Amino acid sequence: MRIDCLQYANWSEKIFRQMREGGVDAVHVTIAYHENFRETVLNFEQWNRWFEQYPDLIMKGQWASDIDKARATGRTAIFFGFQNPSPIEDDIGLVEIVHTLGARFMQLTYNNQSLLATGCYEAEDTGITRMGKQVIKEMNRVGLVVDMSHSADRSTIEAAEISERPIAITHANPHEWSPALRNKKDDVIRAVTENGGMMGFSVYPHHLKDKSDCTLSSFCEMIARTAEKYGASQLGIGTDLCQDQPDSIVEWMRVGRWSKVIDYGEGSASAPGFPPMPTWFEDNRHFGQIETGLRATGLSNDEVAGIMGGNWYRFFADNFGPRG
């Protein structure tokens, strides 16, 4: 089983076919960065059209059992998530509405301070806000997973402690391996995984050691060392693949509507667009390369199978439904 717990590609029939060629059974796709509720509904609507256009390649995923259905019919199950809480605006009632529409992950922040928590680019991290505590409780109730991939350290640790259900970092790497602002320090990873949460490893070059020149062996050794520290059962893949996106999309991701100037994030100001992907992971057809690399580290077959998809499957099964 192969599950990628974060992509934001410029979706097309070509990419859907590459998912099938790579044997990718499920993908968590970002359908909102800075969109408000109504704009996000239009993104759900666009995906409905794609499901109609390419029924032999993709299907809507809402529950872990949909991955079984996708595998049995040779398709990829698509699960929806937000990289910002903007789709719920300032209305806690919209948490249940977006879950009903099919959202299964929501980041509490995207780099900046939000109504719910502090982003990883802010100078001061004040932790989970009053509204954030209430929204986490509501997310727990309906089965919308708390994602802290772009959140600051204190906020992430507090979210892991406040949440009564496991949370996720869907796409990031250990800070000690590659000290990017978005990567996670030991105490953060520990707080998430000790509470049953998941850590998905990112192939986005700004989060890699040696950036675009990162080797497959370096990436896979990093995963193996993380497994030694925190246990392989809490780890998965969240590539953060942004395939075929124009550079203008990076500006939208980083800037949205909050700034009049370009925010270059962790990239170079002289090259604000998307960095080249490592040669061993340029699209979904290369997903199996990671599996090959993980086997070479000495991880067991069961551990590799878990990291490639089995662990996310278990997490989906436990956390996408209402709390019973």
- What digits encode the pLDDT tens for the residues 144-192? 999 999 999 999 999 999 999 999 999 999 999 999 999 999 999 999 9
Whats the size of the chain, residue-wise? Answer: 324
Q: Is 162 exposed, middle or buried (0-12, 13-18, 19+ CB in 10 A)?
A: middle
Task: Identify whether the C-beta of residue 8 lies closer than 8 Å to the C-beta of residue 81.
Answer: no
Res 262: pLDDT: 75
Mean pLDDT on 128-141: 98
pLDDT (0 to 100) of residue 270: 47
Range with lowest mean pLDDT among 218-232, 273-287, 292-306: 273-287
Q: Is the confidence at residue 324, as pLDDT, over 80?
A: no
pLDDT of amino acid 319: 98
CB contact set of 323 (below 8 Å; sequence gap of 6+): 140, 141, 143, 164, 165
Q: Are 315 and 166 a contacting pair, CB within 8 Å?
A: yes
> Residue range 233-260: average pLDDT?
87
Please state the domain extents for the chain: 3-319
pLDDT in tens, 76-127: 999 999 999 999 999 999 999 999 999 999 999 999 999 999 999 999 999 9
Q: Are 206 and 176 in contact (CB under 8 A)?
A: no
Q: What is the pLDDT of residue 264?
A: 61
Q: DSSP string covering 252-298, please?
A: HHHHTTT-SS---TTS-TT--SPPPPPTT-SSGGGHHHHHHHHHTTT
Query: Rounded distance, CA 323 to CA 139, Å?
Result: 10
3-319, superfamily in CATH? Metal-dependent hydrolases (3.20.20.140)
Position 26 scores a pLDDT of 98
| 247-280 tens-digit pLDDT | 778 777 878 888 888 776 655 444 567 889 999 9
What confidence tens digit (pLDDT) does each residue in 18-65 have? 999 999 999 999 999 999 999 999 999 999 999 999 999 999 999 999
- The Cα–Cα gap between 85 and 75 comes to 29
Q: Give dist(CA 71, CA 84) in Å, integer.
A: 30
pLDDT of residue 272: 62
pLDDT tens figures, 65-80: 999 999 999 999 999 9
What count of other Cβ atoms lies within 10 Å of the Cβ of residue 184? Answer: 26
Q: Is the pTM of this model over 0.85?
A: yes
Amino acid at residue number 237: I
